[in-house]
């Protein structure tokens, strides 16, 4: 086993981590101001936050909230540093927590529980419903194994739809599985996953990521697995608060199901939900700054009962790998041996981190496409089985 490498830092010159802070985060704040009719004091708080990101040292949370102590303890390790001197994953998660403070999300009053990203999410959902209507028959035609693989691949490409990342937003127009895309799946264990699930599991868990097409395909996948009797139940693990702009919370999933109420898929999903076979759950860990190896015991114990955990998206991949500079040839199964269950990660490449490649493979891809790690063009469907 290789020594634990250093985390990706926002201080690394020319890195994507740095540009997410310098360019993307201020843009996200501007969009939130434009999308919500906030009063002057909230706009002022958001503007002050934008200026802090550009120049100041990070400041602690000042609001009274159940998680203030947790976050301030975490932030204390970085006291006196600017936003460009932090571990990248901490910087991004703390950004979302501070944004919620600025918009009074956790405070009593008119802005309590008001999702600052709701307008952007609703747009993605309407688009996904229209997409479903257009393409559903294509997806329901094939035999079960082929259909499952197509859904798995579509669920992977749905991960391109990520509102926190403007580079890949356009690619998200794809979404549906296509043979012309297969060479872009750098690691593809679809057949092993199909074999594992078709043999039957009692519970499939899905650690979800984004709303819109991604959640649409995640739900379609869940419906298929339940319908085939491959799993007795499917548990969706959602975020307990707005996070990385487009990440789904239980209320987003419920809202989306309501939009699908008149579709065949929507009716089937609702029936599974009413029967307790499809479950939407949340846990504060999913929106915190800790890595998966620091997963709280209650959650690890719960996941250990799963037949398979599907982890969706780039951020979950980063958290599996400590958001650290592992060599491209490092083995995921060794690094993430701590994970409490068999898991598969479905992730498009959007952060500068990647393992599991053969010697020379990364260099060959980089020579052909210098933006390969962040442009969302490629993906992985990688299974790590527990003995
Ligand atoms: O802000 C950029 C980023 O952290 C990228 O690493 C990633 O592309 C995105 O946010 C979140 O991606 P996902 O929705 O796939 O977790
Ligand atoms: Mg996301």
Query: Model confidence over 267-285: pLDDT tens digits?
Result: 999 999 999 999 999 999 9
Residue 350 Cβ inside 6 Å of ligand 1? The answer reads yes
* Residue-range definition of the domain harbouring residue 24: 16-102
Cβ atoms of 230 and 201 within 8 Å: the answer is: yes
CA of 280 to the centre of ligand 1 (A): 22
- Burial (0-12, 13-18, 19+ Cβ within 10 Å), 293: middle
The pTM for the full model equals: 0.95
Both 241 and 278 in a single domain? Answer: yes
Atom 14, ligand 1: residue with shortest CA distance: 162
- With a 6 A CB cut-off, is 314 part of the ligand 1 pocket? yes
Give every strand in the sheet of 185-188, ordered side by side: 185-188, 379-384, 343-348, 308-312, 201-207, 231-238, 278-282
In CATH, what number is assigned to the domain containing residue 357?
A: 3.40.50.10880
Proximal ligand: closest to the CA of 166: 1
Residue that is last in its domain, among 52, 75, 102: 102
318 and 200 inside one domain: yes
- 198 in the same domain as 242: yes
Instruction: Judge contact between 88 and 10, C-beta under 8 A.
Output: yes
Strand bridging mode 278-282 / 231-238 = parallel
Highest mean pLDDT among 98-102, 125-129, 141-145: 98-102
CA 115 and chain centroid, separation: 17
Same domain as 176, residue 43: no
Best of 86, 163, 165, 238 for a ligand 1 pocket test (most atoms within 8 Å of beta carbon): 165
CA of 349 to the centre of ligand 1 (A): 9
| pLDDT tier for residue 164 given thresholds of 50, 70 and 90 | low
* Shared domain check, 349 and 212: yes
Domain count, the chain: 2
Same-domain check for residues 78 and 175: no
pLDDT tens-digit readout, 338-362: 999 999 999 999 999 999 999 999 9
pLDDT tens readout for residues 287-342: 999 999 999 999 999 999 999 999 999 999 999 999 999 999 999 999 999 999 99
Are residue 96 and residue 201 in the same domain, yes or no? no
Q: How many angstroms separate the CA atoms of 322 and 337, rounded?
A: 13
SS3 call for 282: strand
Q: Is residue 5 part of a domain?
A: no
pLDDT at residue 172, as a whole number: 47
Quick one: 379 exposed, middle or buried, by C-beta within 10 A (0-12, 13-18, 19+)?
Answer: buried
Residues 43 and 145 in one domain: no
């Amino acid at each position: 086993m290789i020594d634990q490498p250093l985390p990706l830092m926002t201080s690394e010159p020319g890195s994507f981590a740095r540009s997410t802070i310098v360019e993307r985060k201020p843009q996200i704040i501007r969009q939130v101001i434009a999308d919500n009719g906030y009063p002057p004091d909230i706009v002022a708080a958001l503007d002050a936050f934008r200026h802090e990101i550009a120049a100041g040292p990070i400041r602690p949370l000042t609001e009274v909230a159940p998680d203030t102590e947790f976050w301030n303890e975490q932030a204390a390790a970085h006291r006196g540093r600017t936003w460009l001197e932090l571990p990248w994953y901490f910087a991004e998660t703390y950004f979302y927590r501070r944004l919620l403070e600025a918009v009074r999300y956790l405070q009593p009053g008119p802005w309590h529980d008001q999702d600052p990203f709701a307008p952007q999410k609703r747009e993605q959902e309407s688009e996904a419903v229209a997409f479903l209507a257009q393409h559903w028959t294509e997806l329901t035609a094939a035999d079960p194994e082929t259909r499952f693989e197509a859904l798995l691949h579509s669920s992977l490409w749905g991960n391109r739809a990520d509102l926190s990342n403007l580079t890949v937003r356009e690619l998200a127009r794809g979404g549906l599985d296509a043979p012309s895309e297969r060479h872009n799946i750098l690691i593809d264990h679809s057949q092993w996953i199909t074999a594992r699930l078709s043999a039957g599991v009692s519970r499939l868990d899905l650690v979800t990521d984004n709303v819109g097409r991604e959640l649409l395909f995640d739900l379609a996948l869940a419906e298929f697995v339940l319908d085939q009797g491959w799993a007795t139940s499917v548990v969706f693990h959602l975020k307990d608060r707005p996070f990385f702009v487009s990440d789904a919370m239980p209320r987003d999933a419920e809202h989306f199901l309501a939009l699908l109420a008149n579709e065949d898929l929507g009716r089937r999903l609702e029936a599974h939900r009413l029967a307790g076979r499809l479950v939407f759950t949340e846990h504060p860990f999913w929106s915190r700054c800790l890595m998966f190896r620091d997963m709280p015991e209650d959650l690890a114990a719960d996941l250990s009962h799963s037949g398979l955990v599907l982890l969706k998206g780039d951020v979950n991949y980063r958290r599996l790998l400590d958001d650290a500079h592992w060599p491209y040839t490092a083995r995921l199964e060794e690094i993430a041996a701590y994970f409490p269950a068999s898991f598969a990660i479905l992730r498009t490449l959007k952060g500068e981190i990647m393992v599991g490649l053969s010697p020379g493979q990364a260099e060959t891809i980089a020579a052909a496409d210098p933006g390969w790690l962040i442009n969302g063009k490629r993906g992985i469907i990688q299974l790590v089985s527990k003995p």
